[in-house]
Each structure stands twice: as C-alpha cells, then as structure tokens.
Chains A and B, each alone.
Chain A
Amino acid sequence: MERSEIQHRVQKVVSSVLKIDSKEIAPQSNFVFDLGADSMKSVELIAGFEEEFNIEMDEDRAREVQTVAGAVDFIATYVQ
C-alpha cells in the first residue's frame, strides 16, 4: 500500500474519532498535545486504525506512537 494512501486513511480515522476537520490534521500533529486525544480516545484511535486497515497492532507499541506521521509509519510496518 502506498504511503500516501495510508496517510489519507489515517487522517480519515483521526478526523472521525476525534471529530476534527481533517484540514487541521497535519503529519506532525501530536494526538494528545495538538489534537486533544485523551486516554479513551487513544484506545478508540487504535481500534479505528485496526478496523480501517484490517490489522492487529501491538497495543503497547501503538500507545507509544505520538504523531500522525508516527502512526503512518507504524501502520506501514503491518500493511507492507
């Protein structure tokens, strides 16, 4: 899967879970600091990514991912 496609689909999930306009979501956006994800939303984001990409992520490592670009990189390791 192309990185640009992963990026697009990650933004879609983030926008849907955090209810933010996708224009406000930049690759360097920090889920907590910039996008306001609390611990509950972080769990929902992980679940959303797993469903979107039909993958099962290592939850501990997934929780360490802080930015949108980081999520793209992390998901890429599963879908490629």
Chain B
Amino acid sequence: MSDPEDRAQARLEPIFAPRSVAVVGTTRIPGTVPFDIFQNILKDNFQGTIYPVSPKERSIAGVKAYKYVLDIPDPVDLAVIVFPSSVVNLAMEQCGKKGIKGAIIISAGFREVGPAGVRREEEIKRIAASYGISFIGPNCLGVINTDPSVHLNASFARRMPKEGNIGFMSQSGALCTAVLDYAHAKNIGFSKFISFGNKADVSDIDLMMYLKDDPATKVILVYLEELTDGTRFVRAARRIIRETGKPVLVLKSGRTREGASAAASHTGSLAASDEVVDAALHQAGVIRCQTVEELFNNAIALAYQPLPKGRRVAIVTNAGGPGVLTTDAAIQEKLELARFSESTRETFRKSLPVTANIMNPVDVIGDARADRYRVALGSALDDDNVDGALVILTPQSMTDIDLIAEEVCNVANRSPKPTYTSFMGETDVASGIDILQRRNIPHYILPESMCRAFARANDFLRERDRPEIPPVHFQDVHPAVAQKILSAAAAAGRAYLTQSDAMAVLGAYGLPVLPGRLASSPEDAAVAATQIGFPVAMKVESDDIVHKFDIKGVLLDIVSPEQAKEAYRTIVANAHAAQPRANIRGVFVQQMAGRGEEVILGLKRDEAFGPVLMFGLGGIFVEIFRDVSFRLAPVPADMVRDMMHEVRSYGMLTGARGRTPRDTGALEVCLQRLSQLAVECPQISELDINPLIVRNEGEGCSVADARIHV
C-alpha cells in the first residue's frame, strides 16, 4: 500500500462521509454562497451534525453559531470554508488545531487570480500539510454525497441530485450546475458529485481512486480543462478499469492546436496536445466524449444496463422509416443486425400480425400495443444470436405509449442483455420517456445517439477485457552507443544530431539504417559511394542545417564516382549559398533506399504524457489528411498493431486495390524498436524517421532519412 493513490479512500472519508460538518465563515444573508451552502446542508437533510461558524452571528437559520471553529465543543470531521480568500489561512490554522482532517475550500481568489493568489494557495497547502488536513478546492462548487446514510449537499448548487450510481467530478464548478440541471431533467442520479476547483491538495487522480473503491459508484465521469500529470492520470484510469471494471468517461475541453506551432519537428507539429490526449485516453481504455450530451448518453448506457457482449443488435420498431434510420446508424457504428434463430422467427410468426416484418428490424406495425412489444423484445433478447436490443417507438394514434414503456422496462429488466430505447418525438412521448428514465432504461432522442452509445459500451467491454500484453523488449540493442552520441551532442550544445549521428542512434536500436558514411571531399565521396555501391543518396552534414531538402542539400540517385564528386561540390555550394555561416562537416553518402511505400515514424516527448509515438503514411496522407496515429511509449505489442491499423490509409500497405502488399511485419518491429528507444533515451525530445521505406512483403524496411532533436 505504498502508492499514495491507494490511500484515497481513508484520506477522503472525512470529506465524503463526515459525521459532523462546520461551515466556516457562513452568514445570515440568503443568496450568498456562505449562506446557501449552510442552508443546502441543512435543508437537504444531512444525517450528521452541522455547526455554523460565523464571527458575528449567534445563530443561523435557528442553529446555534460559533465565533470560531475552536469554540465548537464536539469533534468535527469536515470544515466547509466559505470565508474570503484573504483569511482562509486563518480558518485552516484553526481547523488544524481543532483536529479536523477534511476540508472543502469553496472560496475563490487563489491560483486562478495571479501571483498573490498563488501565494495564498501555497500558504493553505503548507498549513494543511502541517496538520494532516486533506482538502478539496479552493475555488469550487463543493461536494455532494447522495448516500442516504450521509446525504450531504456541501455545495451551492441549486438542487441535490437523486441517488444513483454515477460518480461525477469536474474541474469547472459552473459546468456542475448545468450538469445537475440537465441530469434532473433526465432523471439521472449520482453517487458522488464533486467540483474540485484548483485541486491544490486533493487531485483529480485522488478523486478517481476514491470513486474506484466507492461501492455506490458504478461509472466514473470526469470533466477536465487540463491534464497536468497525464501519465499518472491514464495509469490510474487504466487501473480502475482493470481492477474494478468501472468505466471511466472523460470530457476534456481545450482541443486546441496552439501548441503545435512551436514544435520543432514534423512529429511535433502533428502531435498537437489534444491528439496526444486522445491517444493516451484511448490507450487507457477511457471513453472520451466531446459533449456533455455524449457524456451522459454513454453514462446512462453503462450505468443502467449490462454491457453488450457483442455487436449483434435486434431492432424492434413500430415504423419502417425509423427502423431503416436506426439500421443505417447501427451499421455506421459497426454494429451488426442480428440474424434471428428459427425458433425466434417462429415465435414472431405466431405472435405478430402477418404483415409484420419478422426479420431484423422487427416491425411490429404502427398499431402495435404493449403486447406486441413484449413478445418482440422478449423473444429477441432470449435469442442467442442477439447481444442487445434497440427499441423504437413512434407515437401513432393507437399507440399506448405509457403501457409500452412499462412493458419495455419489465422485459428489459428481466434480461441479462442490454436494451436501449428511442421514443421518437417530444410532446406525445414525454410521459413514456419519463417512465423509461425513472426505471433506468436508457433513452435517446435520436436513434443515432442510441447506436453510438451501444457501440461505445461494447468498445469499452473489449478494451476492459483486452489481455495485458507487455511491450516487446529487444536484447540486441546497444544503448551505450546511443547514449554516447546523445551525450556528446548535449555537451556540444547541438539541438539536432547530424545525419550520421542520427543514423547511428537508430542503428544502435536495431532500426534498419542504410549503409553510409561521412565524406570530407569530392574524392572521398567518390570512394565512399563506390564502397557502398551505386546508386547512392548524398546529404549535406552540418549542425547548422536542419532542413536539408529546402536548401538543395540532398541529391539522389547518384550512379557513378564522377557524379558523386560533382554532387559533393554542388551540395556544398548550395549549402554555402543558403547559409553562408553554416559549419559544413562534409556530405553524408548513403545507399539509396530502393522502392517501397513511404511511411513516417515519429517520437515526441509530451510535457504531460512523456514519450509519444506517431505513425502515418508519407506524403499527402500525413501532410493533408493528418492521417496519423499516436500511442504513449512504451507501446504494448498488440497496440503497435492497433496503431498501424488505425490510420485510414493502412490499406496502402496491405495490398488494397491490387497494390503490392508491403512488409508490415518489419514495420511493426520498427515501431516496437522505436518505442524502446523512446523510453531508454529520454534526452531525445523529438524524432522523425521520414521516410521509412517499407518494401514488399518479406523484404523489410529502410530508414531513408531521420532527424533527431535533443
């Protein structure tokens, strides 16, 4: 139990399940945060004891008030501090002396307001640490625990949500209030509802780990504006999913590419921070959502229904058109229309009108009442060829909406398979939707959202149950060689490795570099080219020239010693002309890579996530379509394969449309070796292998060019 993440439960117990709460700095003025928090705790029926602490008031809302927290005669578990930021330190000091171990600091005016606020935040952290106080905030909305034995609404939200099994935590307090309103309208309940603000002490990771062990929480929802410790975050999320099977859903704002413009390499500019976040969350098995609506569409599916074990859906509908729409949406999400067994079809034949469609979608016809839905849904769910059901209803004059809703709930709740619903419309179907929501049957306004949620739930199951395959660790590598080159470059203050050094580093990790050497004169170039064998490529070698092609510092397909001499002179002259002050060490002569598909492999060291690998096909696929994939290194062996398959242009390598299949096995090994290099050479900040030539099946790959930034 050495990992601090494992101590979250005990550390946060005074905050989530206190027996007594002091609201420190409260007032008698309704409509203010200090009063409303006190009032919320009181009116929402907190099961423990509440103490108002106010410098001036003798009582608040009829409850005896204390001037100082130290004046309270009994022990206090939790302090909810609502004083202005300037005196929160004094309040914390007294809480410490009182022996309080948990606090929620609602007050704003800390890190978010600038240097003075940073100092105040550091001061309260110091005091909290000296007394062993764990605190949430500052600058937050507060915390809600719906557990009936606690029933704490220590927040200034307008309402307390109903009890449920979704744990929600948010960096934005304002979003919390909007979510509560949204959830209320959809009858969604929560186990814990947490606004964590500046996370000066208790972090988002601590809270996730608390929810991991919280028996009332089945699904964890997180809203983030920043991911400061990405590596720890994804490790914690992965652990939660692996150990408990609880889904973790993340809505992260700030999908900006601003960071990309400052990047030093191709990979750097492609690996904009948000794409790395995407890859990292995906790698951890986290379901990333783009909107609040998508977050809850997925959450209700995961929280209310069993996970679909497969992608074979039965669609039950009382109208043809919506059935087709749902079919389209299902196929789009890579779901399959289940093929019903003969016995299921026989049941349909016997129980449904002759005009009913007994294939999939099952059309129970516009005049269907509850009994037809019961038979169709029940039989479909009982069929071994079905992994889950999607129920569509359109409100026709004879449709008994409420009865059908009740019947759908009855049948769905008896089945070990999931049922999702879409009662299409708004006014007429409202009471039916209300029944579905109250009985925890996921309902979606649009069939498309329903199909997407079904697919995500099945994706989650597959990710959760994916066996842990470790990254491949190669023994035939020479880390000492790479380290020596990288140390020398650092000592010389070089930002980029020369071509020969870059090739040597890659070669040390077994990446297939082509034979080559540095030539120091036209004659030497001719000798080198002859030794290597024609045709050769020749590239200027200089610490000062990064973009060799741009200054015409590269010549290809040199086929004779004479051409090699001439090429040397041309390259050096071009380099001098473009950058007169560049220190030119010579020209790198290298075997030509030969024919094959060009791909790009890259590495970028991300501030939050550490080393990130990139893969894409060369040329327009990367430049125009940004058709690339990312994974955090070290990349497990199976995920290297996923990474390759993920790019849309991958078919170019596997023989699509009559193309020659390329050596994808060798490519996979290159990515695995690069993953090991990324982990073992932390000095490298960015690296491009561009291009790596992937030759025909069985013929391997070659590094044609590479750039390494240290």
Contact = CB atoms under 8 A, between A and B. Distances in A.
A3 to B, nearest CB: 25
A34 B68 CA distance: 8
Nearest to B67: A34
A26 interface: no
Contacts of A38: 27, 29
A7 interface: no
B569 to A, nearest CB: 70
Contacts of A34: 55, 67
A69 interface: no
B453 interface: no
B84 interface: yes
B33 to A, nearest CB: 11
Interface string B79-109: 0000110110011000000000000000000
Contacts of A32: 55, 83-84, 86-87
B56 interface: yes
A66 B54 CA distance: 17
Interface range on chain B: under 10, 10 to 19, 20 to 34, or 35 or more? 10 to 19
B86 A66 contact: yes
Contacts of A18: 56
Interface string A19-43: 0100000000010111110110000
A36 B57 CA distance: 9
A3 B564 CA distance: 93
Contacts of B83: 32-33
A33 B90 CA distance: 7
Nearest to B88: A33
A33 B27 contact: no
Contacts of B56: 18, 20, 35-36
B401 to A, nearest CB: 53
Best-buried of B29, B54, B57, B86 by chain A (most CB within 10 Å)? B86
A39 B27 CA distance: 12
Nearest to B57: A36
Contacts of A36: 27, 54-57
A30 B84 CA distance: 12
Given A18-B56, A36-B54, 11 more contacts: A20-B56, A30-B90, A32-B55, A32-B83, A34-B67, A35-B55, A36-B27, A36-B56, A38-B27, A39-B84, A66-B86
Interface of B: 27, 29, 54-57, 67, 83-84, 86-87, 90-91
24 contacts: A18-B56, A20-B56, A30-B87, A30-B90, A32-B55, A32-B83, A32-B84, A32-B86, A32-B87, A33-B55, A33-B83, A33-B87, A33-B90, A33-B91, A34-B67, A35-B56, A36-B27, A36-B54, A36-B55, A36-B57, A38-B29, A39-B84, A66-B86, A66-B87
Interface of A: 18, 20, 30, 32-36, 38-39, 66
Q: Which 5 A-B pairs have the closest CB atoms?
A: A36-B56, A36-B55, A33-B87, A33-B90, A32-B87
